[in-house]
Amino acid sequence: MHWFGFLGSWAFAALISWVWLFVGSARRDAEFQMNVALVLAICFCACATWSGFRIAALRRMGLRWRGAAISSRAGGGELRQEFGNFEAIRRGLDGAFQIRFKDHSLLKLDPYARNASDFLARFSEELGSDVY
């Protein structure tokens, strides 16, 4: 999902920028159209930048799931939690799943990351309850 947003936003920003720079408009309201095109190009660039930051954050997190354990890079070290250490799960305001473990560590899982739905389904199977 993030890659689609990243590439799609950059493509639209490039297309609108190309029109703004090289094509223009011959209509009576050409100045207004070009101002709108500039705002749209800036908005699409901002969306692509945000998607790029989300992709980079997910890659830095390095979340891996091996059998009944979750491991990730946190604060420069490797964090490993067993499914048996699970305490609670909830949906945060940003839409991410927040998984809390018995040692009060928190794992934020982006629902749009690759294989996140498979992970949550397996997580609920391991716990014997429905996570969603």
- pLDDT bracket for residue 130 (50, 70, 90): very low
Same domain (yes/no): 81, 46 = no
In a domain, 132, yes or no: no
Query: Which range marks the domain in which residue 26 is found?
Result: 2-60
Three-state SS across the chain?
CHHHHHHHHHHHHHHHHHHHHHHCCCCCCHHHHHHHHHHHHHHHHHHHHHHHHHHHHHHHHCCEEECCEEEEEECCEEEEEEHHHEEEEEECCCCCEEEEECCCCEEEECCCCCCHHHHHHHHHHHHCCCCC
Same domain for 40 and 68: no
Whether 100 shows a pLDDT value over 50: the answer reads yes
One domain, residues 47 and 72: no
Tell me the per-residue pLDDT of 1-37, one tens digit each, with 9 for 90 and over. 788 889 999 999 999 999 988 888 888 888 899 999 9
